[in-house]
Structure 1
Amino acid sequence: MSPPAGQGAPAGRVRVDGRELRLTHLDRVLWPREGLTKAHLIDYFVRVAPLMLPHLEGRPLVLTRYPEGIERPSFYQKQAPWPRPAWVQTARLAHEERAIDYVLADSAATLAWLGNLAAIEIHPWMSRVDDPEHPDLVVIDLDPDPPASFEESRKVAFWVRQALDRLGVPSVPKLSGATGVHVCIPIRRRYTYEQTSRFAATVGRALSEVFPDRVTDERLVRRRHGRVYVDPYQNLRGKTVVAPYSPRPLPGAPVSMPLTWDELETAQPRAFTIANVTQWLPGRRDPLLEALGRPCSLDAFLERVPGLQGTRT
């Protein structure tokens, strides 16, 4: 991977997509074991922007920043950082406590700016700012409790797929970049967060009843006992999971990767990294982006669940 011009210097100005930004501390090491620096992160974001940006378009972003690298303290940031370039887009959304100005990523330049902030993890909302109360994505988050590992997550992902297929709901798997799998369901923008979170919870509860020794919907970690937790709560308003192609703050610098179900059969969570992006990026097919263009209906499911029909448009 070729880092941006200026690596080794404390700061520099570059142009990305015709926008100028100032980069600082490009030689700061973010992944110490691999020697990957902030320059490498910025370069990765610029390279992957054509695939990543469609997943972020119009979505409020929550950032996890690692200014001193992944082995030092990090912090979680919702409010758009300041100062920021005038061309960085934001959107204000109301919450019970206050309004928050979220970053919107509409260009490779914005991704480069986020990389300069050492925003290693990018977490988008399930809905977009033009209709923030109606998500267009449901994510069933599979999180293995040790000693359960990725292999157990993979197996449960295929069980989730089978359950969704019976409901007539298509899905796409995504490596979390750690030991989990995200089963992603693009949906029509007509359902509330209450409906989508209950949908995910119902799937999790059904699987935990059929496979009680392998799957759990138990929120308390101490009660999971080495099973795969099916987490529906990331589908509540304002909750997020890591974005497609976002790096993870883990050894090897893995990224969260959308896959086909066939690819999931043999995939490993550390196979896709910011360091080997030049090997997997050229010509990469994005099955999740394709599925987002064919959103599905949850009507048949909701009609079976009393009290969840609500108002649909």
Structure 2
Amino acid sequence: MTPIISVDGRRLALSNLEKVLYPADGFTKGEVLHYYATVADVLLPHLRDRAVSFLRYPDGPDGQVFFTKNVPPGTPEWVTKAQVTRSDGVARMVVVQDLASLMWAANLVAEFHTHQWTLTHPDHADRLVLDLDPGPPAGVAECCRVALWLRERLAADGIEAFVKTSGAKGLHLLAPVRDASPEQVSEYARRLAVEAETALPALVVHRMNRGLRPGKVFLDWSQNAARKTTATPYTLRARPEATASTPVRWEEIAECRDGLVFRAGDVVPRIQKYGDLLAPLFEADRAGRLPQG
């Protein structure tokens, strides 16, 4: 029997709650849903008013994994949708605005990926993102070194950076910005990546050529483009274990303990201790202006 629950007055049918989605640690779909219900207060602000792309893995990371950008068939009428202009036309996408929508989306078994702009101001980016992706044998320790350099470099331009794990191998730097288009932020991020490679040539590569990446950190600046999305804070990832993209303190980056990986069970205690470490992204007076030129 498929359980039917009520969330804020919305009826939801939840399926396959006992299915093991993460074989390495036995994490089930029911535990996935419980995780999202528990972190909803800090996750929802990062989803609200942003069109969502889903990386779906309904049979776990070892099964079929596929991106869904358009509204999936069977989406309830009460889930918010939005028309989003893309390079290949107009897409109709989901917007997760509330707990009921979050639980419906979590039942699809998906990573959440969002743009660096909101639907209310699609021509203005409110975040800059830099994705630090290590090429083996480089790992998170090398990412931490690059992140610390980037933090200081951004601060020199009056931009305050925050950091989270990607939930996979690397780190994401996020910074609140204002009065800039996605194109302007993307170009600024590209210049930063080139500058980082110049300053740290043994450590950083800014080009996507995979042949250049072994032993270095690929600094992906391209996710600032209007069409691109990045893994949302607190989303679970399609990995062997139930790891989450988790905000971290700069002190943890400086110490860079081995692994710097957080599983679903680690996240709630961190929220209880620190709150949402990325909450400053929503504070208008923390947003920096990009330098001219």
- TM-score with structure 2 length normalisation? 0.94
Tell me the secondary structure at the aligned position of residue 282 of structure 1: helix
Q: Show the counterpart of 2:129.
A: 139
Taking the TM superposition and a 5 Å limit, the aligned residue runs for 1:158-307 are 158-188=148-178, 190-266=179-255, 271-293=261-283, 294-299=285-290, 301=291, 303=292, 305=293
Q: Percent identity?
A: 32
Aligned CA distance change for structure 1 residues 177 and 223 (closer, same or farther; 3 Å): same
Distance 1:97 1:271, change over 3 A: closer
Please tell me whether residue 93 in structure 1 is matched to residue 84 in structure 2.
yes
C-alpha change, 1:202 and 1:96, in structure 2 (3 Å) is: closer
Q: Which amino acid aligns with 2:96?
A: A
- Structure 2 partner of 1:309: none
What do residues 44-86 of structure 1 show as CA deviations (whole Å, max 9, x unaligned)? 1111000000111100100000111111121100001121222
Is contact 1:197-1:233 (8 Å) kept? Answer: yes
Rounded to whole Å, the distance in 1 between the matches of 2:211 and 2:278 is: 33
Equivalent position of 1:148 in the other structure: 138
Contact conserved, 1:59 with 1:104, CA < 8 A, in 2?
yes
Aligned partner of 1:76 in structure 2 is 67
Q: Deviations over 1:194-224 (max 9, x none)?
A: 1001111111111101111111112111122
Quote the Cα distance in structure 1 between the aligned partners of 2:279 and 2:32.
Answer: 23
TM-score when normalising by structure 1 = 0.88
Q: Is the 8 A contact 1:45 1:108 kept in 2?
A: no
Provide structure 2 residue ranges, at least 5 long, that are not aligned to the other structure: none
Could you tell me whether the CA contact under 8 Å between 1:259 and 1:286 is conserved in 2?
no
Aligned residue runs from structure 1 range 22-171, under 5 A = 22-119=13-110, 121-171=111-161
Whichever residue aligns with residue 13 of structure 2, its letter is R
In structure 2, how many angstroms separate the alpha carbons of the residues matched to 1:161 and 1:96? 32
State the AA in 2 paired with 1:79: N
Is the CA contact (8 Å cut-off) linking 1:43 and 1:112 kept in structure 2? no
- Report deviation, 1:255: 0.6
Counterpart secondary structure, 1:122:
strand
Instruction: Tell me if the contact between 1:14 and 1:22 (Cα under 8 Å) persists in the aligned partners.
Output: yes
Read off the aligned partner of 1:148 and give its amino acid letter.
Answer: A
Q: Which range moved further: 125-134 or 269-278?
A: 269-278
CA RMSD of aligned residues (A): 1.6
DSSP-derived class of the 2:278 partner: helix
User: Letter of the aligned partner of 1:230 in structure 2?
Assistant: L
**Could you tell me how far 1:284 is from its partner in structure 2?**
3.5
Contact 1:134/1:192 (<8 A) preserved: yes
Distance 1:223 1:277, change over 3 A: closer
Mapping of residues 3-14 of structure 1, within 5 Å: 10-14=1-5
Letter in 1 for 2:185: T
- Comparing 290-299 with 44-53, greater Cα deviation is found at 290-299
Which amino acid in the other structure matches residue 233 of structure 1? Answer: S
Please give the alpha-carbon distance, in whole angstroms, between the structure 2 residues aligned to 1:148 and 1:275.
Answer: 27
Contact 1:272–1:280 (Cα < 8 Å) also in 2: no
Give the AA of the match of 1:91. A
